């Protein structure tokens, strides 16, 4: 299997090596051949050298791989975030039509939740985020610039194709899971055109999945319930923006953003899928070697699963859980996990455990 590796910016470049070490160990144990090719584009450094985020042939290049293993991109001191993101990650998601962004939220053994009295098992759900349209569009503009009449328009665009395919994925996932429960994030009381449409498509899709229990929450109430009743949720399906918010909030409730992985999936396999931790480049802690590599390593597990190796994937996830369960006294957990370990030490411990 040929994997394109893009470390990107900030802590992306620190956690990716730990992720590769764990992947190598897993591949060795399961007799898999993983070939890694590393690329320096999609980073602020590349921008400084070339004035663009990507080389002209990036699409062709990346299409030659089975998957993309991605760190984090964004370094606002050098290039504005909307330029770097629309010039790389958001571009990948769209061009490769990675229309499902799957983000597990699980309270892991050994990790302290900021929520009082929550134990592993209490929080275990998946956010399925629409990943190619919706609120993330670059359609719109500005008029009467620099005057008191200055007005800015930004279009949200939902299509039947785009909404239905991600809903179908989420319903199928819910149907396979034990709880069989799907929650739709909406805001149809306030956002009066796009969100009632979203609700309509959920109602239509529901008829195909009589075994799935369906409910919906407005995004404001849903965010509140993530904190008050995270145990209510199983599969949560959401638009691009709402999924973005919920998939940071969920991991926060499980203790740290540092462990959360995400899979940007094209379920048709017509183009490569991309695996990246939920955390960003984290300029505030970059360069110190203390970033938590677990999100990046867990991404490796999601990638192996996607590539058809569920046993290897489960084994890698198990190794993560084992090491976390030792707790900050007995394992080199990073500061966000209340330990004093470094990125490299924690990565190494997980690779060893594999």
Ligand X SMILES: CC(C)[C@H](C(=O)O)[C@@H](O)C(=O)O
- Total site size for a second copy, rule CB under 8 A: 67
Restricting to residues 210-239, name those near a second copy by CB under 8 A. Answer: 219-221, 223-225, 227-228
Is 270:59 a contact under the CB 8 Å cutoff? no
Residue 280 or 339: which CB sits closer to ligand X? 280
Determine if 285 is a binding residue for ligand X (CB under 6 A): no
Q: What is the DSSP letter of 187?
A: -
Tell me: does residue 188 bind a second copy (CB under 8 A).
Answer: yes
Residue-level length of the chain: 354
Toward a second copy, which CB reaches closer, 3 or 282? 282
What, of a second copy, ligand X, none, does residue 49 touch, CB below 5 to 8 Å by kind? none
The radius of gyration of the chain's CA atoms, rounded to the nearest angstrom, is 20
User: Which of ligand X, a second copy, none binds 307 (CB below 5-8 Å, type-dependent)?
Assistant: none
Query: Is 220 one of the binding residues for ligand X (CB under 6 A)?
Result: yes
Residues in a beta bridge with 185: 217
176 binds a second copy (CB under 8 A): no
Provide the edge-to-edge strand list for the sheet that holds 213-218: 35-38, 2-8, 67-72, 273-277, 261-265, 100-106, 124-130, 235-238, 181-186, 213-218
Alpha carbon of 204 to those of 166, 174, 179, 319: distances in Å? 13, 16, 21, 41
Q: Does 80 bind ligand X (CB under 6 A)?
A: no
Question: Distance between CA 53 and CA 152 in Å, rounded?
Answer: 26
- Kindly give, in sequence order, each residue whose CB lies less than 8 Å from that of residue 176, ignoring residues fewer than 6 positions away: none
Q: Which is nearer to a second copy, 75 or 275 (CB)?
A: 75
273 binds, among a second copy, ligand X, none (CB under 5 to 8 A by kind): none
**Binder to ligand X among 189, 192, 208, 288 (CB under 6 A)?**
189
By CB under 6 A, is residue 280 in contact with ligand X?
Answer: yes
- Two tokens, residue 320: 């993560």
Nearer to a second copy, 244 or 345 (CB): 244
340's contact among ligand X, a second copy, none, with CB below 5 to 8 A by partner kind, is: none
Segment 144 to 173, residues that bind a second copy, using CB under 8 A = 147-161
Binding mask 47-86 for a second copy (x = CB under 8 A): ---------------------------x-----xxx-xxx
CA–CA distance, 134 with 265 (Å, rounded to integer): 17
Query: 63 is in the binding site of which of ligand X, a second copy, none (Cβ under 5 to 8 A by kind)?
Result: none
Please name which of 317, 326, 323, 276 lies closest in space to residue 299, comparing C-alpha atoms.
276
Note whether 244 binds ligand X by CB under 6 A. Answer: yes
Separation CA 85–CA 200 (nearest Å) = 31
30 vs 160: CA distance, rounded Å: 41
Question: Considering CB under 6 A, how many residues would be counted as binding ligand X?
Answer: 9
Could you tell me the two tokens for 72? 């984090």
The yes or no reply on residue 85 touching ligand X (CB under 6 A) is yes
| 257 binds a second copy per the rule CB under 8 A | yes
Q: Does 141 bind a second copy (CB under 8 A)?
A: yes
Single out the residue of 64, 80, 140, 190 in contact with ligand X (rule: CB under 6 A). 190
Q: What b/e sequence results for 178-198 when a residue is b if at least 16 CB atoms lie within 10 Å of its CB, and e otherwise?
A: eebbbbbbbbbeebeebbebb
What residues contact 10, with CB distance under 8 A and at least 6 apart? Answer: 72, 74, 75, 280, 281, 282, 283, 286, 287
**Cβ closest to ligand X, residue 135 vs residue 345:** 135
Interacting residues toward ligand X by CB under 6 A? 74, 85, 90, 189-190, 220, 244, 278, 280
Interacting residues toward a second copy by CB under 8 A? 74, 80-82, 84-86, 90, 112-117, 135-136, 138, 140-142, 147-161, 187-197, 219-221, 223-225, 227-228, 240-241, 244-245, 247-249, 251-253, 256-257, 280
């Amino acid at each position: 299997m040929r994997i394109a590796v893009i470390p990107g910016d900030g802590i992306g470049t620190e956690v990716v090596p730990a992720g590769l070490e764990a992947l190598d160990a897993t591949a060795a144990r399961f007799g898999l051949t993983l070939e890694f090719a590393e690329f320096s584009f999609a980073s602020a450094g590349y921008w400084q050298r070339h004035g663009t985020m990507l080389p002209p042939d990036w699409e062709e290049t990346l299409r030659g791989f089975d998957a993309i293993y991605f760190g984090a991109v964004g370094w606002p001191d050098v290039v504005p975030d909307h330029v770097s993101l629309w010039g790389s990650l958001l571009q990948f998601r769209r061009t490769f039509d990675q229309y499902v962004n799957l983000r597990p939220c699980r309270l892991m053994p050994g990790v302290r939740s900021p929520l009082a009295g929550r134990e592993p098992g209490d929080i275990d759900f998946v956010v399925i985020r629409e990943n190619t349209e919706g609120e993330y569009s670059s359609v719109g503009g500005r008029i009467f610039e620099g005057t008191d009449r200055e007005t800015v328009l930004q279009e949200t665009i939902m299509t039947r194709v785009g909404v239905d395919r991600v809903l179908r994925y989420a319903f199928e996932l819910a149907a396979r899971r034990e709880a069989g429960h799907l929650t739709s994030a909406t805001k149809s009381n306030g956002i009066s055109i796009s969100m009632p449409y979203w609700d309509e498509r959920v109602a239509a899709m529901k008829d195909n999945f009589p075994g799935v229990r369906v409910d919906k929450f407005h995004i404001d109430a849903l965010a509140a319930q993530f904190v008050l009743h995270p145990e209510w949720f199983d599969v949560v399906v959401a638009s691009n923006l709402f999924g973005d918010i919920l998939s940071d909030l969920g991991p926060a409730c499980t203790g740290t953003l540092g462990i959360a992985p995400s899979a940007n999936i094209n379920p048709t396999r017509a183009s490569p899928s991309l695996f990246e931790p939920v955390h960003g480049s984290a300029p505030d802690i970059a360069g110190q070697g203390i970033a938590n590599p677990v999100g990046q390593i867990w991404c490796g597990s999601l990638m192996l699963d996607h590539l058809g190796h569920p046993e290897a994937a489960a084994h890698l996830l198990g190794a993560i859980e084992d090491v976390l369960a030792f707790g900050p006294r007995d394992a080199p957990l990073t500061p966000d996990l209340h330990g004093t370990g470094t990125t490299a030490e924690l990565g190494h411990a997980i690779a060893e455990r594999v």
